[in-house]
Structure 1
């Protein structure tokens, strides 16, 4: 019970901070260079799909990295993703343009069922928010390319990526950014995509 109360307080702070509060260490977002690998992943329905060409496709992507036994960073990061998701669902333009992805950090233990059970706590929509796992080799190589791999998953950092896989432009948000910062960056990418 105590853990749930602490989580609720942390989540409330993370999604309600004013725009300028979390300014240190990349919380405002910084341009990042990543290597996209089109490895086969598996969603919560056990459907196989390639990470880049199928899961991401031509959408603007919002992506976080979780493992289902995490009790610290992952629930807060996913709570922020949920706040972003709610804003996306309220905008037809964003709903049509954006794909959210949560990729496991622990493919050896995170089965599609475990990912689904974790995801259901956040009310995800299977079409617009994919929860992916896969073989250890495929997932770990993808995580390395995305600069999110951690040899010890209990020591992983909190990062949310926003970007356009078509031109491989990405922004990393570290720590616990306000959902509005992420939404503003999503709008930037959507506008750039329309202009090109």
Structure 2
């Protein structure tokens, strides 16, 4: 009788250990949906936001003096990490959407992309007309305002969107001395890729 109780306790303890110690796949919450939109790529082609890939979406403008270029430099590191895991291009795209389409022409975006490790097969620099840009920013709850001198004040959030076009995580852009949390962004992308 004592052996059966001891065996039962041992089996129960083993099952509990497996349950609590077995690595579980983390899941990111559903934070919203992304409407489809057609945007112009640097090569003049039309890009649809709904493309069945995981997307890291960042809003920027080419004459931004600090946050935007610092963030895009940090995204180069995210890109390198994803390339080592065979995720960049195959499963993940970076989507960079200008908040100033009047100034950021297709040619200007092409020129700007040369400052970064932009691989246009996996890192899309996009622009829409003013109304499309406003609608996309509204869908993402991205707040921005352009003043008379052309300076664009904008919120500093990046959006991780799954292959089903659901926003799954928010990440901070590079602000001041604070860089993009490359490790966290890569980890969240890996979780989505494993779903």
Q: Which structure has greater helix proportion?
A: 1
Report whether the alignment pairs 1:61 with 2:61: no
Selected match of 2:86 from 67, 89, 92: 92
What's 2:125 paired with? 131
1:68 is paired with a residue whose SS is: coil
Contact kept in structure 2, 1:37 and 1:141, CA below 8 Å: no
RMSD of aligned Cα (Å): 1.9
**Hey, what's the Cα distance between the residues in 1 that align with 2:92 and 2:108?**
24
2:78 is paired with a residue whose SS is: helix
Tell me the CA shift for residue 91 of structure 1: 2.3
What's 2:22 paired with? none
User: Quick one: structure 1 residues 122 and 32, their matched pair in 2 at CA, closer, same or farther if it must change by over 3 Å?
Assistant: farther
CA deviations on 1:42-67 (whole Å, 9 max, x unpaired) are 00011122222xxxx11111111110
Contact kept in structure 1, 2:52 and 2:165, CA below 8 Å: no
Structure 2: tracts of 5 or more residues without a match:
1-27, 175-179
What's 2:34 paired with? 36
Selected match of 2:158 from 160, 163, 166: 160
**Hey, what's the Cα distance between the residues in 2 that align with 1:179 and 1:34?**
23
Aligned pair count? 159
Structure 1: tracts of 5 or more residues without a match:
1-29
Selected match of 2:194 from 184, 191, 196: 191
**Hey, what's the Cα distance between the residues in 2 that align with 1:50 and 1:95?**
15
TM-score by length of 1: 0.74
**Hey, what's the Cα distance between the residues in 1 that align with 2:58 and 2:163?**
15
2:168 is paired with a residue whose SS is: strand
**Hey, what's the Cα distance between the residues in 2 that align with 1:133 and 1:167?**
19
**Hey, what's the Cα distance between the residues in 2 that align with 1:32 and 1:149?**
20
After TM superposition, the structure 1 stretch with the greater mean CA deviation from structure 2, 101-110 or 153-162, is 153-162
User: Quick one: structure 1 residues 165 and 141, their matched pair in 2 at CA, closer, same or farther if it must change by over 3 Å?
Assistant: farther
Looking at CA atoms only, which structure, 1 or 2, has the larger radius of gyration? 2
